[in-house]
Each structure stands twice: as structure tokens, then as C-alpha cells.
Amino acid sequence: MSEEIPTQSSPQEFENAAQILRDSKHVICLTGAGLSVESGIRPFRGPGGLWTEHGEPPMDGYQRFLRDPASAWRERMQPEGPMKAFSETLLRARPNGAHLALVELEQMEVLRCLITQNVDNLHRAAGQQNVLEIHGNATLLRCIDCLERRPRNAVQIDLDHLPPRCETCGGIIKSDTVEFGEPIPRDVLEACMQQGEQADCCIVAGTSATVYPAAQIPLDVLSRGGHLIEVNLYPTEITQQCVISLRGPAAPTLARLTEDVREHLKA
């Protein structure tokens, strides 16, 4: 390994994890907020977490949106408090080494599909091709009826005629970001569950693995005899079910893992 990285995991653990990735037939990855911490975006739980500091938000955000979509739109166009700062960091954030390492694993045809809980678009910005955004994408708008998604800047928002309506079906348009209380859109949920059924290995990176149905995906892989490999700064609720848990910041840890996989693919 060239330079030392801040990890508590041994070279042997990295080597073993790389071996499992190379020997697996269908590797997927579930990522969470920890992937984007090194891009300047706060996590939600654990040290420095947004919910750690401000408490979990109400679980009925979607129901409140449906009750008064126009007010909800106005509220979300001028976010206040912690969500204002969060929205501003999303606009400034750029992909970090963790995102780039996962793109390389996909290019080496080791990683088949990446499922992210993050709405920051950083996996796509890094060049990841096979991405499923189970909690949506903050740069997109979605019709709640036909699920058609459009880039935010492709929809004319008229403040006197809120909420915007879908040109295709007339349905209400909202941010593609899945609200608390909102069902995961059926198209992306089905695709994620299919990946969980096909995979024999799941990398669980930068997630507390506590929010369902996303957290169910690695458990489905495990229940069919698959392997879980964790990348996290701290132990989580899923650490015990992982065959290996690589402890350290996502960027250097995933870069080191990808380097080990690359070295052995050459051999």
C-alpha cells in the first residue's frame, strides 16, 4: 500500500475483502450519508449528524405535503433552519474519492449496481452508470402519479400557480427526494429489491443501516448466503452480520479496497 490511511483494519482484512469481491458473481453496494461526509455534507445520525443535533424530523412530511402542496412548495423553495444549511451544502458538494473508487469498481466490472440512499447526485456526478436512488435525487422533480422525472431546471415554476403540474398526466409534481412518510416510488423500489435478490455480495458503505426498506437489501443478500462487507467510520447495527468491516473514512478506505481488487485482477 503506498501511503498509510487512517484505518483500524489490517492489510489482510483489505486483502480478504478484495478476494471476496473478485470471487462474487453479482456485487452490489448500498451507500449512505457517510459517503458524502468527505464532500462536506453532514450525516444524519452519529457524531456531527443533522438529526443528532436537531432531532429526527416529523415522519409525516409527505402527508403534510399532500394536504397543502402549494404551501409545501413555498416552504421548500425557501428552506429554513438545518435544512437551509443542508440544501446549501448539496449545491456546493463535489464527488470525493469514495465516489470515484466505486466508479472504478463498476468500470472493472466488479460492482454491478449501486443503490444509494443519498439524494446529493454525487454518484452520478462521479460517473457511476448503474445507480438506483432509493430516496430520490434532489436535482430532479417527479410527478407523484406517473413518476416521470425531470431535471429541476427543466420545469417552469410559477409561484402564482403552485404546485406545478405534470405535462404528461396532470399529476402534482414534487421534488424527487422521498419525504418522510412517502412510499418509495414503485419503479425504483422494485429495481432495488431485484438487485437484492440477485446479489451474492453487498458492500454496505457509509450507512447506519437503520432506515427501511433500504436496510432490508443487505439483509436479503445475507439471508440467501451472500456476504456483506462494511465500510464505515464506526461500528453499526449491521457490523455483526458483515464478514468484514473495514473501519475508516470512506474515501481512503474504498480507494484502498479498489486498489487491492485492481492489483489482483492484474495478477
Residues that bind ligand APR (CB under 6 A): 32-34, 37-38, 43-46, 49, 117, 135, 206-208, 211, 232-234, 236, 249-250
217: its cell numbers:
437489501
Q: Which is nearer to ligand APR, 45 or 256 (CB)?
A: 45
Q: Nearer to ligand APR by C-beta: 37 or 162? A: 37
Amino acid at 228: L
Closest CB to ligand APR belongs to which residue? 34
Q: Which residue out of 26, 54, 123, 135 is catalytically annotated?
A: 135
Q: Minimum distance between the CB of residue 56 and ligand APR, rounded to whole angstroms? A: 7
Nearer to ligand APR (CB atom), residue 103 or residue 231: 231
Q: How far is the CB of 235 from ligand APR (least distance, A)?
A: 8
Taking the least distance from each CB to ligand APR, the nearer of 45 and 227 is: 45
Nearest distance from C-beta of residue 226 to ligand APR, angstroms: 20
Please, what sign has the CA dihedral across residues 51, 56, 58, 61?
Answer: positive
CB nearer to ligand APR: give 85 or 146.
85
**What's the min distance (Å) between Cβ of 36 and ligand APR?**
9
CA angle (44 as vertex; 4, 100 as ends), nearest 5: 40
DSSP string, the chain: --S--S-SS-HHHHHHHHHHHHH-SSEEEEE-GGGGGGGT---SSSTT-HHHHH-PPPTTHHHHHHH-HHHHHHHHHS--HHHHHHHHHHHH----HHHHHHHHHHHTT-EEEEEE---S-HHHHHT-SSEEETT--TTEEEETTT--EEEGGGS---TTSPSPB-TTT-PBEEESSPPTTPPPPHHHHHHHHHHHHH-SEEEEES----STTTTHHHHHHHHTT-EEEEEESS--TTGGG-SEEEES-HHHHHHHHHHHHHHHHH-
Q: 97-107 and 250-266 helices cross at what angle (nearest 10)?
A: 20
Shortest distance (Å) from residue 52 CB to ligand APR: 8
Closest to ligand APR by CB, 50 or 103: 50
Q: What is the smallest separation between the CB atom of 33 and ligand APR, expressed in angstroms?
A: 3
Catalytic residue at 264?
no
Write out the catalytic residue numbers.
Answer: 135
